[in-house]
Amino acid sequence: MNSTIYIPLDIEKEGKDYLEKNGYRLKFAEDVHKSTLIKDVENCDAILTRSNAIIDEDVIKAGKNLKIISKYGVGINNINVDIATDQGIYVTSTPEANANVVAEHVLAFMLALSKRITIMDEALKAGNFDIRQKVYSDDLEGKNVGVIGLGRIGKLVAEKAHYGFNMNVLGYDPYVTQVPEFVAHKNELEDILQESDFISLHLPKLTSTKHIISSEQFNIMKKNAFFINASRGGTVDESALLSALKNKTIAGAGIDVFEQEPPNTNNELFSLENIIVTPHSAALSKEGARKMSLHAAKQIDQVLKG
């Protein structure tokens, strides 16, 4: 009998077609309530899941035939990895599918912040054409961008900034073994913070990276610095970010990820002019989503075919 792949939340056609062409049966959920997941997963060989379905201990133990839980996306916080591992079930994700689109999003933040796109847009729509002579933008060319975390995404941001915009790239990552030759690697985080005009965070969320950027770090950044976080909420102390933006300790910020998601609609950050926010959407381009669905499907095929 064909193996069954459980897909609690629908994915793009590319991933589904791949699985069907390889002879798998697909099973979809009515909703993502825990009771539904527990009932549905019983005879399934794999789960292909997005972030909104919580694959906890009870769901995993109900899946007696499960061999792999394949995450569409990178963060696997919605999966109880310890229990899956105990049960001999693989847990995979799709980091390669995401990297370029997130790096592009970071460059979009850098351009929008430096060119004051949201400020100009709002002013002109309110009838203020003279804003053009009151607020001048900044160039990217020749500026320093500090990339914290030189993994998949950080390296792509560094490349795009350097080759695309003629920026000087400073990097900080104590664990990386290969640093691109155009990156000036620093051994101390402080050096990056003090010298950069743009600072972009590309770290995993770990105990060691929790609030790695807080008041102390904002206080040593340049006054004209723009800070960007499209990594994970919690790496930045949000109350410190709020103070830094309110007090103009830094010039502005581009933020895709939040300590609490979804954030409260009355989050004070949203009332500030010098921040641009996106709803954890950096990875969600049409092309990125297609790639995630396909990569997640291929992981399943690889594991089930041994």
Please give the DSSP secondary-structure letter assigned to residue 26.
Answer: E
Count the residues of the shown chain that bind ligand NAD, applying the rule CB under 6 A.
32
Question: 262: cis peptide before it, omega within 30°?
Answer: yes
Choices 13-21, 158-166, 205-213, 265-273 (CB under 6 A): range interacting with ligand NAD: 205-213
For residues 34-93, which are near ligand NAD according to CB under 6 A? 74-75
Instruction: Report d(CA 242, CA 258) in Å as an integer.
Output: 12
For residues 237-276, which are near ligand NAD according to CB under 6 A? 256-257
In this complex, which beta carbon is closest to ligand NAD, that of residue 239 or of residue 285?
285
Closest-CB residue for ligand NAD?
151
Q: Which of 208, 223, 265, 286 binds ligand NAD (CB under 6 A)?
A: 208
In this complex, which beta carbon is closest to ligand NAD, that of residue 63 or of residue 73?
73
Q: Quick one: which H or E segment has residue 27?
A: strand 25-28
Partners of 5 in the beta sheet?
26, 46
Is residue 55 classed as helix, strand or coil in its secondary structure? strand
AA identity, residue 201: L
Alpha helices in the chain (DSSP H): 13-21, 34-40, 57-62, 81-86, 95-114, 117-125, 131-134, 152-159, 165, 189-195, 215-220, 238-246, 286-304
For residues 87-146, which are near ligand NAD according to CB under 6 A? 95, 98-99, 102
For residues 145-174, which are near ligand NAD according to CB under 6 A? 148-154, 172-174
In the residue annotation, 280 being an active-site residue is answered as: yes
Contact positions toward ligand NAD, by CB under 6 A? 74-75, 95, 98-99, 102, 148-154, 172-176, 202-205, 208-209, 230-232, 256-257, 280, 282-283
